[in-house]
Structure 1
Amino acid sequence: MPDVNEVSWSVRAAAGSIVWDWSSGGPDPRQLLPVRRPTSGALSKHVPVRAFTATTGSHLRLESGLEHDLVRMVDRDPAVTWIVSQPCLLEWGSGRSTRRHVPDLLTTGADGAISLWDVKSREAAASEAFAEMRALTADACTRVGWRYVVFTGLPAVHRHNLIWLHGFRHRPAWSERYAPLLLESCAEGSTLSDLLACSNAETAAVMWHLIWTGRLRIDLTQRLVPSSSVTS
């Protein structure tokens, strides 16, 4: 295994790519640009996409559906304040023995904590081929005070619920007309059936948006049915 003390971090901003000098502190995540652009070819297993995120108000370049699942999850998390795809290049060793790795995502928290994410299927995350890179990346993050997470996906029901809610991430222009009433009606608990029974298209859209933001709470790990409990 390469010497973990020799790790270098390369990042890219508007001025170009640089090897980051940690003696001056960490980079500003809001200034970071992807260090590479995901591409695909005839034999590629994944198809790159551009996914809009409400957190940044811009599009992220992603290279797999599993990455899109992660973005859907963190984009609605009120504790996440910024998201960057392909955020840095880590290198260990030198010459022909150099090991390189580009993590898939970076997120910042409201408390200033930074998390670096690798996105792998459960099989790939458990493989011997990934074990060394996982250990190297985790150690590199620990040394600079960042959190390292390997995302392997969500249970099918949770994933499908997030895909549905993803269509309501944009705040409706008429939201303030209905949001207070919906929040008040759910203060002591309600059900989806109760809310939808007295909804028109506008109030329903606001309801789903409030669920996406978390202002209305519902158990997304379970199937959404008429009796699903909704609280504010």
Structure 2
Amino acid sequence: MAGQHVIRSRRERDAPVASIRYLDGTTRQVPLQQMRLQDFVESGPWRRVRAVHGMAHFSGDYASATTGGHVVYESRLELARLLLADFDPCVVGIYAQPLRMVARVDGKVRSHVPDFLLVTDSGLVRVVNVKPASRLENPRVAFALAWPGSLLEGLGWEYEVWSGAEPSLVENVRFLAAYRHRGVVPEADVERAWREVVDGEELAVAERRLAGDGEPEEARPALMALLWSGRLTTDLAAGPLSGECVLRRCG
């Protein structure tokens, strides 16, 4: 019996563990297999990296429309993925550096902090690691990203290693992000544009008609706000936003 107790303790000791840091400064450890989405309520980033003059990487705080607060990022590539998550109407939760995973893999204790945890309106959880495609060719990097994915997928969560998207899509979403917060464009203007925009018309045509006797550019902010919110859509990956973009109504 004593021998069985020792074996069981070793197994428990070697079981993968998740550490989560909370906004009040406390840290909680949970067995990874018992981790649930509700464990992240009132949690914060595992580490805090501030931009310092001369640093090689690019870090900062992004004011998210999805969360209503700031989300940290550590590179321009991470910021691009963060923008796309904030733009996705299905994403209702974004956590940066959500946890620290520790597990024994191939006989060695390893740790890993994922870049983002995304929650969708259907309850799906997706953990995202952001890494340039060139780095993925390194076997050590590929291995360091593979084992966390295997463990997280065992929870029924999705796992994504993201290396970029169509440049036009990212740049267009970056432009539309200027209109992401309510109040940037008066709600009355947005609702008027929504009532009057015609499905299938080009952006330039919609601007001219909505502007009436004014300059077409005066109607643009309301249309941009509708594109950010997803009430209007257009092919953002086809090229830079222009007057020739075809608008489609959603909902």
Residue 46 (1) aligns with residue 35 (2): no
In 2 relative to 1, CA 23–149 (structure 1 residues): closer, same or farther, beyond 3 Å?
Answer: closer
- Structure 1 residue runs without a partner (length 5+): none
CA deviation profile, 1:32-73 (whole Å, cap 9, x unmatched): 211111246677431221111011111111111111101110
Counterpart CA distance in 2 for 1:63 and 1:126 is 21
Name the CA distance, whole Å, in 2 between partners of 1:51 and 1:180: 27
Counterpart position of 2:29: 19
Q: Residue 72 of structure 1: which of 55, 65, 83 is its match?
A: 83
Match of residue 137 from structure 1: 148
- Amino acid corresponding to residue 86 of structure 2 in structure 1: D
Q: Encode CA deviations 1:5-53: one digit per residue, 9 max, x unaligned.
A: 7321111123611112457551423322111112466774312211110
The residue number in structure 2 matching 1:61 is 72
Tell me if structure 2 keeps the 8 A contact 1:103–1:116. Answer: yes
* Residue of structure 2 equivalent to 1:220: 236
Does residue 7 (structure 1) correspond to residue 16 (structure 2)? The answer is yes
Partner of 2:47, secondary structure, is coil
Once residues 24 and 127 of structure 1 are traced to their aligned partners in structure 2, the CA distance between those partners, rounded to angstroms, is: 32
Distance 1:97 1:183 in 2: 57
Please tell me whether the aligned partners of residues 15 and 31 of structure 2 are also in contact (alpha carbons under 8 angstroms).
Answer: no
Alpha carbon RMSD of aligned pairs, Å?
2.5
2:141 alignment partner AA: F
- Could you tell me whether the CA contact under 8 Å between 1:8 and 1:91 is conserved in 2? yes
Q: 1: distance between equivalents of 2:42 and 2:152?
A: 19
Tell me the SS of whatever aligns to 2:71. Answer: strand
Distance in structure 2 (CA, Å) of the matches to 1:169 and 1:190: 23
- 1:174 and 1:202 in contact (8 A); partners too: no
Q: Any unmatched runs of 5+ in structure 2? A: 1-10
TM-score by length of 1: 0.88
Alignment of 1:30-41 (within 5 A): 30-39=41-50
Partner of 2:226: 210
Q: How many residues align?
A: 228
Q: Supply the AA of the counterpart residue of 1:205.
A: P
- Name the stretch that deviates more: 121-130 or 168-177: 168-177
Q: Which amino acid counterpart does residue 118 of structure 2 have in structure 1?
A: T
Give CA deviations for 1:104-151 in whole Å, capped at 9, x if unaligned: 011101011111100001111332122212221111111212111011
Structure 2 residue identity aligned to 1:216? L
How far, CA to CA, are the matches of 1:163 and 1:174 in structure 2?
Answer: 17
Q: CA separation in 2, counterparts of 1:173 and 1:46?
A: 30
TM-score (norm: length of structure 2): 0.82
| Partner residue in 1 for 2:246 | 229
Letter in 1 for 2:74: E
For 1:91, the equivalent position in structure 2 comes to 102
